[in-house]
Structure 1
Amino acid sequence: MSTLSLVDSPVIAGNGTESPSDTSALVAEIDRLRRERNAVILAHSYQIPEIQDLADFVGDSLGLSRQAATTDAEVIVFCGVHFMAETAAILSPDKTVLLPDLEAGCSLAASITADQLRAWKAEHPGAVVVSYVNTTAEVKAESDYCCTSANAVDIVRSIPEDQEILFLPDLFLGEWVRRATGRDNIHLWLGECHVHAGIMAEDVERAREAHPDAELLVHPECACGSRCLLDLQAGRLDSRRTHVLSTEGMVRHAAASDAGSFLVATETGVLHRLRRLAPGKQFYPVREAAVCNYMKMITLEKVYRSLRDMVYPITVPPEIAERARVAIDRMIAVGR
């Protein structure tokens, strides 16, 4: 994958003309194309504000794919990263799925390949494979269950306690699940999201000192997640004001909580959504530099080009999609 850049080159139409330069005109053109193409636009909560504001649905990767599957849209424009568009293609095989920038990848999904997983499985015959949704379709196809950050603990608890488990690819989410379930027969792949891995316990301490009255919301992919769980269990953190949650869990909690301020330990893109859905409340990033450049690659110009030129289509080979769908359906059958 080529080096990332947040600087967009001009978008040139097929007839040699540039796309609308005025933002309102550009949004109007996107809306026109959205109607003409019978398209639905999805935006992950880490996308830039302009994309979140434009989208039909904003949320986490699996939730967005499931929402899109229920619509009568013929085209899905997924403003996220590559593995998310693959999941949408798996759940909506009769729809065209477009990713506005093919370079929008994921360091976590890239940390394990299907070949590596097959080799790991050979070292642990009979083990149950639980794969985070932040994986490629090929890795999902080699898995027994998928999971999200919201349901990972429930998925693992649904598996017999004496059953060996291979959990991948996120080390920090896996360690949090292992501590939360108390199981010692979970083997962890040593992968990480480079953004969440950079959010350390020291960042949490500094943020708490700066905003002592704020509730703490921590994503379990963070390097600080297991430390927070240990501190909760030991009583060093107040369980009424400390919550380990998925991004969607953070949004729901912040909207329902009586608290007026929150420390947020995840990628900073979610702050825009939190502030929109919980106006009047204050949200502070635990780490200002927790920014995923991959998630910031999609722009209004690229969405316009995607709808105009129907680029870039994401497909999954049927045999891979069928096997990956089994792991996803097993997860859904557990409850959520």
Structure 2
Amino acid sequence: MKDTIRKLAREKNAIILAHNYVPADIQDVAHLCGDSLELSIKAAETDADIIVFCGVRFMAETAAILSPEKTVLLPVEDAGCPMADMVTPEALKKRKAQLPGVPVVTYVNSTAAVKALSDICCTSANVIRVVESLDSEEILMTPDRNLALYAASHSSKRIHLWEGFCPFHNNLDRKTVAEAKKAHPNAFFIAHPECPPEVLIMADAVTSTSGMIRMAKESSHREFIIGTETGLLYPLQQACPDKIFHPASPEMYCPDMKKISLEILKSTLEKESGRVTVPEDIRIPALKAVRKMMAIKG
């Protein structure tokens, strides 16, 4: 099956992207694995005609924003993100009217339509740099309140929160982390900034999924507790076969990320189904917000 998928991709000049949270067999067959923005940027730089994004809808939209000349396919068309759905364009317009002149920072884990209404985007890796880059002393952040609280803890600026969250990150609590630390007393605990503040203060380090892989490679520690979606344990183990990784909780599981299978991926390539497009009146302002973020160095 994997050979057939790779052959189809070659014949159609397609590049297969897999997010760090999708099943291991999908990561194995993909040309590139990583976090969503990193993958979209790399795909835009290739000469592929087709981008197959094994992830959720907002990721495929981001690829379409950056690569309008390419065909972007989402194998599982109903693979969504509950957090991205917690902010709508209508609700954001209303909140912006209540906070005139306050710039909007939007997490890349959001819909294209919400990005289009934002001044700048951010990732979990660069959120602090993005917040500090803005002249305003007040900022509205969407959609993740935990990421906003993390940024606020590293900034003197007033950050207005949006009441959105990632369900599986938000459900991780102090008690569960304490149990994991008790079970693995020598392990270094790395948490994702989408986790609640009560969890982040227990962490030895807070970083993005790509940051976790990089940190595990460079660290002298041999054992880790990982505070993010359990799918990340596979690329961590691939990158560091001599190290041990434990999930902070086995319940940190994203059902939408697990919907894809090799059969679905093969069918998507054969039929070129699940095309994702972003209308130009949304794509252009969304691209501006993404590019403004990408221009920030560091």
Q: Structures share a fold, TM > 0.5?
A: yes
Does 1:227 find its partner at 2:198? yes
**8 A contact 1:142–1:324 mirrored in 2:** yes
**8 A contact 1:126–1:164 mirrored in 2:** no
Which residue, out of 273, 281, 302, partners 2:243?
281
**8 A contact 1:43–1:55 mirrored in 2:** yes
Measured after TM superposition, the shift of residue 204 of structure 1 is: 1.4
Aligned to 1:72: 47
**8 A contact 2:173–2:198 mirrored in 1:** no
Does 1:181 find its partner at 2:155? yes
Q: Write the distance in 1 (CA, Å) between the matches of 2:18 and 2:3.
A: 18
> Counterparts of 1:22-41 in structure 2 under 5 Å?
26-41=1-16
**8 A contact 2:116–2:286 mirrored in 1:** yes
Identity among equivalent pairs (%): 46
Aligned to 2:171: 198
**8 A contact 2:16–2:32 mirrored in 1:** yes
CA 1:31 to 1:230, structure 2 compared with 1: closer, same or farther past 3 Å?
closer
**8 A contact 2:193–2:200 mirrored in 1:** no
**8 A contact 2:15–2:43 mirrored in 1:** yes
Q: Write the distance in 1 (CA, Å) between the matches of 2:283 and 2:21.
A: 26
Q: Write the distance in 2 (CA, Å) between the matches of 1:146 and 1:286.
A: 28
Aligned to 1:250: 212
In the TM superposition, what whole-angstrom CA distance separates every residue of 1:72-99 from its partner, at most 9, and x where no partner exists? 1000000000000000001011100000
Does 1:107 find its partner at 2:107? no
Which aligned segments of 4 or more residues in structure 1 are displaced greater than 3 angstroms?
Answer: 228-231
Letter in 2 for 1:157: E
> Counterparts of 1:1-336 in structure 2 under 5 Å?
26-160=1-135, 162-183=136-157, 185-223=158-196, 226-230=197-201, 242-335=204-297
* More displaced stretch, 173-182 vs 262-271: 173-182
* More displaced stretch, 202-211 vs 73-82: 202-211
Q: Write the distance in 1 (CA, Å) between the matches of 2:291 and 2:57.
A: 20
Report SS of the residue matched to 1:88: helix
Measured after TM superposition, the shift of residue 230 of structure 1 is: 4.3
In the TM superposition, what whole-angstrom CA distance separates every residue of 1:128-185 from its partner, at most 9, and x where no partner exists? 000000000000000000000000011001112x5321001001111111112133x1
Letter in 1 for 2:154: A
Q: What are the ranges of 5 or more consecutive residues in structure 1 without an aligned counterpart?
A: 1-25, 232-236
Report SS of the residue matched to 1:294: helix
Instruction: Report the structure number with the largest CA radius of gyration.
Output: 1
**8 A contact 2:18–2:34 mirrored in 1:** yes
Query: RMSD of aligned C-alpha atoms?
Result: 1.1
Question: How does the TM-score come out when normalised to structure 1?
Answer: 0.87
Letter in 2 for 1:118: K
Letter in 1 for 2:239: L
Measured after TM superposition, the shift of residue 268 of structure 1 is: 0.3
**8 A contact 2:177–2:248 mirrored in 1:** yes
Measured after TM superposition, the shift of residue 227 of structure 1 is: 2.6
Letter in 1 for 2:287: R
Letter in 1 for 2:104: V
**8 A contact 2:53–2:59 mirrored in 1:** yes
